[in-house]
Amino acid sequence: MDDKKIFKILQGWFPLLEQREIPKKKHRHFFQQFLEWMAAEKVANHFQAYLMSIDSENPHENGLERCAILQHMNIDMGLTQQKIRKRTMPLYEHYKKHKETIGKYYNVNAQAFDIVFEEIYALLKSQNLELLIIYAEAAYWMAVPKEDVEIHKFCKSFSKQFKDDAICIEHYIKLDCLRST
């Protein structure tokens, strides 16, 4: 397996990563090493990242404002954050009000995560970008260029590289299902 492939694809998508030395072969299969290689950089007074994490307890902390690609495009990410809050706040309020009926084992954050990913996806789609989601000890997301062949190669190589750690990657696609009444 060419375990260098995911790093090379990322450097192709994000030229600033070309300045970072690819981890040595004996360390490439460690997801923690991948996270360190992808770590955010402080530029001027803010952080820029290509891999954003979402706080499992507060999906509103989703790293959107750190997304380097969107920062370079001068996108107002505040509008998307407002949409996320507008859609998730009633969900949290309803759950809080009816927690005894709904049950304490219901994961309201999972439903909020779906909303967060839908809104981030909509923003990225409007900029001709795609959304990749990584499920590890936390959820991570990445905005990547709309290059289906490279995305497929990346996801396949990523899955092989980190399969022993049970880390999964998904090329997010919003399915529009018809509802029957």
The answer to whether the pTM exceeds 0.75 is yes
H-only helix segments in the chain = 5-13, 31-37, 68-72, 77-97, 99-102, 108-126, 148-162
Q: What single letter denotes the amino acid at residue 13?
A: W
**Farthest CA pair distance, the chain:** 56
Domain ranges for the chain, please list them: 5-171
| pLDDT value of position 84 | 94
| pLDDT value of position 160 | 92
Q: How far is CA 176 from CA 9, 72, 82, 118, 139, in A?
A: 30, 30, 23, 11, 23
Percent of the chain with pLDDT over 90: 55
d(C-alpha 40, C-alpha 142), whole Å: 12
E strand or H helix at 133: strand 129-135
3-state secondary structure of 53: strand
Of 5, 115, 13, residue with least CA distance to 62: 115
Which region among 75-89, 96-110, 121-135 has the lowest average model confidence (pLDDT)? 96-110
Question: In this predicted model, what pLDDT tens digit does every residue of 2-34 receive, in sequence order?
Answer: 578 999 999 999 998 999 999 898 888 899 999
